[in-house]
Structure formats: C-alpha cells, structure tokens
Chain A
Amino acid sequence: MEPELASKLVNGLRSAGINFVTCLPETRLSQILPLMREDSFFQLAPVASEAEGVSIAAGASLGGKQVTCYMEGTGVFVSTYKSSYRGRTLRRADASFGFYVGSVADKHNSFHLDRSRRSLLQSDHRGNRIITHRAFPIAQPSKTLPIPLSKCR
C-alpha cells in the first residue's frame, strides 16, 4: 500500500471520530497500523481472532467509544456468530467494520469467497454498518460482487 493511501485511510477514520480499533493484521492494509499506533487519538486493541475483535469492540462501544473492527475480508466469515449477535442484541448505529474487500471479491485470494460474501450481507442485515475499502486493483473480480466498493453507509 502506498504511504499516501494509508495516511488517507487513517485520516478518514479519525475524521469519522473512530477512536477505538480492534485489529488482526492482514497483509495489504497493515500499513495503517503503525500510523494508528503512533497517534494517541486511536486506542488499538490487537486481537487473536476477528471474532473477539467484534466482541471487544461491542463492549467498548457500549462504554462510549467510537469503534471499528479492522480485519481481512475472510475475518467476516470467522466472526459471523459474534457479528450476528452484536447486530441483533447490541445494535449500534455507529458500529462498523473496516476491511480490505479484495479477499471477498477476488476469486484468487479467498478460499471462503462465497461464505464471506454471505456473512458480510448477513452482518449488514443484522444492523452492523459496513465500511469497505478497495486498496488494490482486483485481478479477476467476481461478476456477482454484491457490495459497493469504497462505500460507507
């Protein structure tokens, strides 16, 4: 990732008021983590599983933090149970996921392509707000990509 893009992403999170980020580093967006680590505006919570990243963010949001869960697209699949629960029971309008969507969309990059995509849609329907970023050109994107890229709702 170009340093300029990493900086742009971090500034975007900051201007959105996001001040608590759970993260499990993936390859292509990892450059944003040192930037957030050096910025006292952000409280970073490194986790061992995307699933617990969702739970920890849910707790922090109930305590008043503006949260996001940073993960690779396949992490959506891993965290389906937690995100489904969070959306259903701990519904928060400002809870969101931020991740690189290439692994969901790119057939060459995800073993869990269809499952992740379904999980993502399910999370959306459960009341979680989805933020996606496309950081790199996708070589062969799926023709049935169901989510708008670079769109924040």
Chain B
Amino acid sequence: MNRRACLEALLPFVKDQLVVASVSGQWVWGQLSKHEGNLLLGSMGNALGVGMGLALGLPHRQVIVIESDGSVLLSLFNLPTLGTLHPDNLKVFVFDNEAYSGSRISRPSATAAKTDIAAIARDSGIERAVTVRDLGNFNREMSSTIKEPGLGFVVAKVEETFEHRNAERSDVDLMENKYRFVRYVERTEGKPIFLGPG
C-alpha cells in the first residue's frame, strides 16, 4: 500500500471539510486536491495540533488531518491531549512508512521497531484508533471514519516511496495558502476572521 493510493481514495470524500496536512503529506495531497479548505503547513509536528485547534474552534465542522509517523513522533504529547479533549469532529490519518524518508538517507523511525502509534493513541483515550496494512482495509476504515460521528484515528502502514523527492512543488506559497484557506473558512462560516489593519 502506498500513500498516494490512500489519498486518491480519500479524495472523493472531501467536500466541505477542512484538511490540514503536514509536510510529507502535503506534497502528494497538494497535487491531488485543489480544495480551498486545504491548509498545507510545510512543517513537521504541527498538523495534529493545528487540526485539533480548528476542530475545537469549529465543533460543527469536520476537520481532517493528514500526518506522518515522523511528524507524530515529533509531537507525541499531542496524543494524550487529543484523547483528553476528544473533539468528535476530528479525523486523523497517519501515514506510517517507518522511515524518515524526507531525510534522503531513509533512517528507520521508531515505528520500524516496536513503537505502535495506534496503541499509544488508544491508551491515550482515543478509543477508535486502528492500524491498517492494505488498501482494502484502509478504504473501509477511512470511509467509516469520515461518515460516522466521533473522533477517528487511522494509522496506515505504507511502503516508503521516493516520489516526494522529485515531485513538482506547488506554486502556491504557504502564506498564500493560509489566506486562501482562511477566506474559505470565512465564506463558508459566514464570519470575518482576518480583518484589515485598523
């Protein structure tokens, strides 16, 4: 199973949700989806926290977070906080390739050894945390996670691919993406968020 196939499967399920992607997911997701509700962060260790904040701030709105194993491990303290705050409108997808693939030397991450992110999530109070290892199971879990109410947390074990190293980078600047995202939230929520000076 690879991440692109999973994200292609996720694509038709994204309508008016807000999608937050960490650095590794954003390259592929940014290519696949031009949804105005995409927030591409360009950093590791931030997507889950930012997604949590969005979900808490807009509890009537579904928020999807696209994460990776390295990014989750960098901010592991997010999991007990997520289990405690438990926003029912948040859906988390962690693509776990068991490697620091962006480093270009592909050193194994802790999940290549004994660390089980879904188990940590469950023991942190995220009851519905599962690991899937093939596309059929991913489709099933992804579909039910998106459609059913409640906090969802799916860890997808994916093979390491190197397409992100050669992938064409988006021509949308991250700051530009942020403004587009916020204008989309303003329009769909019917409230001003970014106000001009004065």
| Co-complex (A, B) | yes
In whole angstroms, what is the CA distance A47 to B193 when docked? 24
* B51 x A90 contact (CB < 8 A): no
List B contacts of A47 (CB < 8 A): 77, 81
Which residue numbers of B lie inside 8 Å of A, CB to CB?
18, 20, 39, 41-43, 45-46, 48-58, 61, 75, 77-78, 80-81, 84-85, 174-175, 178, 181-182, 185-186, 189, 191, 193, 197
In whole angstroms, what is the CA distance A57 to B46 when docked? 11
* B80 x A48 contact (CB < 8 A): yes
Answer whether A46 and B84 are a contact pair too, CB < 8 Å, given A64-B185, A89-B175: yes
List B contacts of A9 (CB < 8 A): none
Is A115 an interface position by the 8 A CB rule? no
**Residue picked from B49, B53, B57, most chain A C-beta under 10 Å:** B53
- The B contact surface, by secondary structure, is helix
Tell me which of B41, B57, B80, B178 contacts A60 (CB under 8 A).
B57
* B56 x A56 contact (CB < 8 A): yes
| Nearest chain A residue, comparing its CB with the CB of B39 | A62
| Nearest chain A residue, comparing its CB with the CB of B49 | A55
* B178 x A85 contact (CB < 8 A): no
In whole angstroms, what is the CA distance A87 to B61 when docked? 25
* B57 x A64 contact (CB < 8 A): yes
In whole angstroms, what is the CA distance A61 to B197 when docked? 17
Is A130 an interface position by the 8 A CB rule? no
Answer whether A59 and B174 are a contact pair too, CB < 8 Å, given A52-B81, A89-B42: no
* B77 x A62 contact (CB < 8 A): no
Sample of 14 A–B contacts (CB below 8 Å):
A20-B57, A45-B53, A48-B77, A51-B75, A52-B77, A56-B49, A59-B20, A59-B51, A61-B53, A62-B39, A62-B181, A63-B53, A63-B189, A93-B197
In whole angstroms, what is the CA distance A82 to B75 when docked? 10
* B49 x A62 contact (CB < 8 A): no
* B43 x A85 contact (CB < 8 A): yes
* Cβ of A21 to closest chain B Cβ, rounded Å: 11
* A82 x B46 contact (CB < 8 A): yes
